[in-house]
């Protein structure tokens, strides 16, 4: 029987009552290894003592004042992010889709304030996912996500990935920005080639456009760098972040160069809850851990170990895992067309491992960034057993 929650999330069959580190415990007391991490959100796992302490301390002092007043921890977090990135200014919001809305608005506003209000359109890439608002669904133009919501909002011109001729052909006098995810997460863990990212930067510079990166899923250590674009050396003018920024507390951010940030004058944009004291206390504590010595190096090593293990399993079950891809702890298994990613994910869950599906029949692994050797071995064992179950069913 349907409960009072709208059914847009389907009918979840598992309910969790507590989490400890990289594990979740359901209401029946069963333990699961969490390689979904709230879809790349719980970057430090569950109930991390530093985040719990920061949240409890802040909750006992001050929850919320809105941005009518200065919030010292918000200023501190913004200054830290600028020192760690290309950016000179930061706007805080509550989620990834809000961050992308803010990024698109900033790009349009930049051109308007610099004498070109006709520049308001954005070029986006096939296979991308930028969120669930009407505007961000329109930026991705996935027919499945748009079904039943009328015509997409105007202002987005979508082109194939890794095709610079198509992208250049799409540039018009109305184009304001090029928008890309360095690794397309929802689209199937598809990394964009470093040469392609450099070509996007060059095209943006040549035509006076802004380069906007969506690092909602790839940011905050997920790939082994604080931001995924650091691997290529290509820097954007604007970047949207969320998910891992506060380890599970709702928070998002738009980072921008001074030229773009200074165009967002008073009254041009806002958020009631964005950057409030609770979110900023947890985000600063989360950043303390992410930037500690060797933390991101361990993310790289853990990701390499998981991919190596998955490739060994794929060698034994080539009819189930066709390929393994991704970077850092953003890992995708391309499932053979004989099976669905959902079938492999369900079989893994039955073995005590939680994963997430993505496009192109890919099953995502997005574990907490604190994952250790024993948990990696446990996860690989669960995937191997899941593959054995599917192979056995296929033989029957």
CB 367 within 8 A of CB 329: yes
Report how far residue 112's alpha carbon sits from residue 268's, in angstroms, rounded to the nearest whole number.
12
Rounded to 10°, the helix 72-83/277-290 angle is 30
Answer yes or no: are the C-beta atoms of 328 and 364 closer than 8 Å.
no
Residue 18: other Cβ atoms inside 10 A: 11
User: What token pair was written down for 296?
Assistant: 């991101």
What does 153-214 look like in DSSP terms, one character per residue?
PSSEEEE-TT-HHHHHHH--TTEEEEEE-SEETTTTSEEPPHHHHHHHHHHHHHHT-EEEEE
Given a contact cutoff of 8 angstroms between Cβ atoms, the answer to whether 228 and 215 are in contact is yes
- C-beta of residue 95 within 8 angstroms of C-beta of residue 279: no
Residues composing the chain: 396
The whole-angstrom separation of Cα 211 and Cα 54 is 35
The set of catalytic residues is 129, 214, 243
Q: How far apart are the first and last CA of the chain?
A: 33
| Close Cβ partners of 1 (under 8 Å, ≥ 6 residues apart) | none
| DSSP state at residue 221 | T
* In contact, 2 and 8? CB cutoff 8 Å: no
Question: How many Å apart are CA 332 and CA 199, to the nearest integer?
Answer: 25
């Amino acid at each position: 029987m349907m409960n009072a929650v709208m059914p847009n999330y389907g009918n979840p069959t598992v309910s969790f009552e507590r989490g400890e580190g990289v594990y979740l415990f359901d209401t029946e007391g069963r333990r699961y290894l969490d390689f979904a991490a709230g879809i790349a959100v719980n970057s430090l796992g569950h109930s991390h003592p530093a985040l719990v302490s920061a949240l409890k301390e802040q909750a006992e002092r001050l929850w919320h004042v809105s941005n009518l007043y200065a919030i010292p921890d918000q200023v501190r977090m913004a200054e830290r992010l600028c020192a760690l990135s290309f950016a000179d200014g930061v706007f805080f919001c509550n989620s990834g889709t809000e961050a992308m809305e803010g990024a698109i608005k900033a790009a349009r506003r930049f051109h308007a304030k610099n004498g070109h209000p006709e520049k308001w359109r954005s070029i986006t890439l096939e296979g991308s996912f930028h969120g669930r608002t009407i505007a961000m669904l329109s930026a991705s133009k996935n027919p499945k996500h748009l079904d039943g919501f009328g015509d997409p909002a105007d202002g987005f011109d979508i082109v194939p990935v890794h095709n610079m001729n198509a992208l250049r052909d799409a540039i018009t006098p109305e184009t304001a920005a090029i928008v890309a995810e360095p690794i397309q997460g929802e689209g199937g863990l598809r990394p964009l080639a470093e040469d392609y990212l450099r070509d996007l930067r060059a095209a943006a510079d040549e035509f006076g456009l802004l380069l906007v990166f969506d690092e909602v899923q790839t940011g905050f250590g997920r790939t082994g760098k604080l931001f995924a674009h650091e691997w290529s050396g290509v820097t954007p003018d604007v970047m949207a972040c969320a998910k891992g920024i506060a380890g599970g507390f709702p928070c998002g951010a738009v980072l921008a160069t001074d030229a773009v940030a200074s165009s967002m004058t008073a009254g041009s944009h806002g958020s009631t809850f964005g950057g409030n004291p609770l979110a900023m206390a947890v985000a600063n504590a989360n950043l303390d851990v992410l930037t500690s010595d060797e933390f991101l190096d361990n993310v790289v090593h853990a990701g390499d170990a998981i991919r190596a293990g998955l490739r060994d399993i794929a060698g034994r079950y080539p009819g189930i895992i066709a390929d393994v891809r991704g970077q850092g702890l953003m890992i995708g298994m391309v499932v053979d067309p004989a099976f669905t990613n959902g079938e492999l994910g369900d079989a893994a869950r039955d073995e005590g491992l939680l994963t997430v599906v993505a496009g192109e029949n890919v099953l995502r692994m997005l574990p907490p960034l604190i994952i250790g050797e024993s948990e990696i071995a446990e996860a690989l064992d669960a995937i191997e057993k899941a593959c054995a179950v599917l192979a056995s069913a296929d033989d029957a």
